[in-house]
Amino acid sequence: MSVQSSMSKRLPPWHEHIRLPSGRELLIRPIRPEDAGPIQGSFSLLGPEEVRHRFLQTLQELTPEMAQRLCQPNPKSEFALVAAEPLPPGEALIGAVARASLVPRTRDAEFAILVSRFIAGQGLGRKLMQKLVKWAKGMKLDYLQGSVLDSNQPMLQLADSLGFRRQPQDGAPGLVRVVLDLNE
């Protein structure tokens, strides 16, 4: 299934209006500090598996401090996009978050992504991952990589289809490292 771009109006960088196959319209845009409230509020709607796959651990709550930190990426070293309702930040519910962070002292970035199960399986994860790859290439990085639970077939298959290679993660049983060579 694939996401359609739904408007051609000139938008700021990294903004894109999309229509999911279900008909739901969303705005992909950089995360904003105002998103912290809606993200923290909707954390309780996530299933335990979604949380474990995204954070690689169980997490009972997202504190206001954690939500604020997630919503204020360092522009020099981090990039984070959301897929949100097309409403002002702060009011808009957030359906997906994808981020990449430079790994200190390397030319690599680490990604993390979460697409809510209410809108999963419609091409949004692929679209957001492609945007992270574009950002990483624009930053002239060598590798984009992530840690994925070996039970997380959706993410492993998505990574495979985007050209990531799987590597065992030393000292971390149950985790697979997926690595994309950005120079290939």
Residues contributing to the site for ligand COA (CB under 6 A) = 1, 50, 53-54, 112-115, 120-126, 146, 148, 152-155, 157-158, 161
How far apart, in whole angstroms, are the C-alpha atoms of residue 90 and residue 34?
5
Structure tokens at 159: 């990574």
By C-beta, is 90 or 121 nearer to ligand COA? 121
Find the DSSP H helices in 110-181: 124-138, 153-161
Phi, psi (degrees; rounded to nearest 5) at 134: -60, -45
Q: Among all residues, whose Cβ is closest to ligand COA?
A: 125
By C-beta, is 40 or 122 nearer to ligand COA? 122
By C-beta, is 12 or 23 nearer to ligand COA? 23
Shortest distance (Å) from residue 46 CB to ligand COA: 9
By C-beta, is 92 or 99 nearer to ligand COA? 99
Shortest distance (Å) from residue 162 CB to ligand COA: 9
Buried b (16+ CB within 10 A) or exposed e, 87-122: eebeebbbbbbbbbbbeeeeebbbbbbbbbeebeeb
Shortest distance (Å) from residue 10 CB to ligand COA: 26
